[in-house]
Amino acid sequence: MPSSNSPASTIAVERKILRALCATGIDPADWNRFIARLAAHPWKAPEHRIVFEALRAIRSQDATSRLEQLPAQATRMGFPDVDWEHYFGRDHAERAELEELLGDLEAPT
């Protein structure tokens, strides 16, 4: 099992965060705060950076609209081959869960 600061562990946390951000149920104020916290994160997986930047580029505050637009936004950015199954599938994300994951990601190595 990877240590909590290993690249594999960081990539797993990144994916969980993005999967949660692709879920519904996040208050728009929390959404904006989470996106701002992640803006300077040095993404370990290139696909994760693409998904994050595509999420940021979509201006809708509605989670359902964001999800509908996300694949097209990534394609417009030049990345049509994202494996969306890794990110879609959750119906709801809890604020506390996202806070914990962001804390894990921001923890010093």
Q: Has residue 1 got a pLDDT over 60?
A: no
pTM of the model: 0.88
Cα first-last separation, the chain: 17
Say if 75 falls within a structural domain: yes
Say if 61 falls within a structural domain: yes
Say if 2 falls within a structural domain: no
Say if 23 falls within a structural domain: yes
CB 83 within 8 A of CB 47: yes
Give the domain extent around 80: 7-106
Provide, rounded to the nearest whole percent, the portion of the chain with pLDDT above 90.
69
Tell me whether residue 2 is exposed, middle or buried, using C-beta atoms within 10 angstroms of its C-beta: 0 to 12, 13 to 18, 19 or more: exposed
Predicted local confidence at residue 6, as pLDDT: 78
Looking at the structure of the chain, the number of domains it has is 1
Name the residue with tokens 């637009």.
69
Predicted local confidence at residue 81, as pLDDT: 94
Say if 26 falls within a structural domain: yes
